Amino acid sequence: MLVGNKSDLCHLRAVPTDEARAFTEKNNLSFIETSALDSINIEEAFKNILTEIYHIMPDGTPNLLTPTHSSMHSSLHRSPTSAC
């Protein structure tokens, strides 16, 4: 997903919308422009990315027991050690 932010600042636009859309189509990405100042598409951007994540998960749900998560979890619960 490509998110163009600060869409309220059109006069400072660095990348034309058409160019961004062409890039996302070529690279099989979704595209949305947002403005936090004007509250435009913020919630929609989050919904879109979460929907995309949900669709790429093998069974539609996150696996909370992946090695990355379990090793991170175990490192958080280690007893403190002395540096001396």
Alpha-carbon gap, residue 1 to 3, rounded angstroms: 6
Tell me the whole-structure pTM to 2 decimals.
0.61
Domain boundaries, the chain: 2-65
Q: What is the mean pLDDT of the chain?
A: 80
Cα–Cα distance list, 23 to 16, 57, 65, 68 (Å): 11, 25, 35, 32
Given a cut of 50, whether residue 84 has pLDDT beyond it is: no
Q: Does domain 2-65 have CATH number 3.40.50.20?
A: no
Given a cut of 70, whether residue 39 has pLDDT beyond it is: yes
Q: Which pLDDT band, with edges at 50, 70 and 90, does 63 fall under? A: low
Q: What is the CA radius of gyration of the chain?
A: 20
Give the per-residue pLDDT at 57. 81
Q: Report the first-to-last Cα separation within the chain, whole angstroms.
A: 47
